[in-house]
Amino acid sequence: MIKRRKTRKVKLGNLFIGGDAPILIQSMVKVPTSDTRKVISQIRRLEECGCEAVRLAITDAEDISSLKKIKKSTKIPLIADIQFHTSLALKSIEAGVDKIRLNPGNMKKKGLKEIAHLAKERGIPLRIGANSGSIDLHPHLPPPPSRGRNEEGGIAFSLVKLVDDWVKFFEDLGFFELVLSLKTTAVEEIISAYRMMAKRCDYPFHLGITEAGMGRDAVIKSSLGIGILLQEGIGDTIRVSLTEAPEEEVRVAQEILQSLGIRSFYPEIISCPTCGRCEIDLPKIVKEVKKKLLTFNFKPSTLKIAIMGCVVNGPGEAKQADIGIAGGKKNGLLFKKGKPVRKIKEANLVEELLKEIKELSTTADTRR
């Protein structure tokens, strides 16, 4: 059982970040905010696949006008990413956003004071942070060539120092509704930075590996960085940044949380790697079942499904799952709740398995 770091609880729309709130999944809209219709449709798709908070890039007045319409069309908390524009932050808050994300190192203190004042008045949090690119903006830190990775003066240490200074700045203004983020593209640095920051404060953390990239590399990098910290109880909201559709970011985030046993979203599939004993096309069966499950609407689910290649290890795993298949010669033996039920021809395995999953999932545990 993972013991989560104790943090303050920060309100985000109708949800919370930190404290005893579930670790929240975020993603970001990937079309211009000014394109109201496309943004609303992307937010709907994100909501359907389980996204819990959506960030939007706010770059000009057109985006602000669209933001007002978007806000009226959805209940999901919206986070305005305002880069370094004070006026856009203020207008976004007035448009009703639930959180502002900013990098204070890129902004003037006068503007930050105005933002903190209005955010406090409206009861919304600020996500403040720094990324490794901002380190050079800090006047009291040594230049990059003299830095190692994690030691004093290194990138992780410098990030922590930078964010710590900004935390104090906001605290001096009487503003405490903060979520913190420390970003670099290197897994090792991120882990070190968050570990150090966790010892210095009790603000909730937003986790993510910035610009992780695309495909398998990006998923592995994000899973390691985010997963290691979550396993240590560090992290209160996550975003997996992928150069892919935002729905994919949400699915990977769900898989990270589910793999660690932190939250459950969909049935868990266990399948063997196959070997010379396998006499059915197991990869094809598993792929089809997984694909179809994404279209089912039975989330969250704690069902366990085992799809195994043969009778050597198959029955053991299949018996321990809620539903299982142990492959035979062009067929599979179906197990339900630990008991063998019937043999199914290979051609009908996917269809029959999905039917059984559907049936069982209506009575499945819906713990989240």
Residues that bind ligand SF4 (CB under 6 A): 272-275, 277-278, 308-310, 312-314
Other CB atoms within 10 Å distance of the CB of residue 368:
11
Dig out the tokens for 105 from the structure: 């190192």
Closest of 259, 221, 258 to residue 241, by C-alpha: 221
Write down the least CB distance from residue 316 to ligand SF4, Å: 9
Write down the least CB distance from residue 282 to ligand SF4, Å: 7
Q: Give CA–CA dist 348/9, Å, rounded.
A: 50
Do the beta carbons of residue 64 and residue 85 sit within 8 Å?
A: no
Write down the least CB distance from residue 329 to ligand SF4, Å: 12
Adjacency order of strands within the sheet including 126-131: 178-183, 126-131, 99-102, 78-81, 53-57, 24-28, 237-238, 206-207
DSSP labels for 191-233? HHHHHHHHHH----BEE--TT--SHHHHHHHHHHHHHHHHHTT
**Which H or E run includes 285?**
helix 282-295
Closest of 363, 289, 295, 367 to residue 324, by C-alpha: 289
Nearer to ligand SF4, 105 or 324 (CB): 324
Write down the least CB distance from residue 352 to ligand SF4, Å: 19
φ, ψ for residue 243 (rounded to 5)? Answer: -85, 60
Write down the least CB distance from residue 356 to ligand SF4, Å: 20
Dig out the tokens for 354 from the structure: 């999905």
Nearer to ligand SF4, 118 or 311 (CB): 311
Output the residue with the shortest Cβ distance to ligand SF4.
309
Nearer to ligand SF4, 21 or 278 (CB): 278
Write down the least CB distance from residue 217 to ligand SF4, Å: 27
268-271 vs 237-238, strand pairing mode = unpaired
Nearer to ligand SF4, 54 or 308 (CB): 308
Nearer to ligand SF4, 40 or 312 (CB): 312
Nearer to ligand SF4, 139 or 273 (CB): 273
Nearer to ligand SF4, 124 or 310 (CB): 310
Write down the least CB distance from residue 311 to ligand SF4, Å: 7
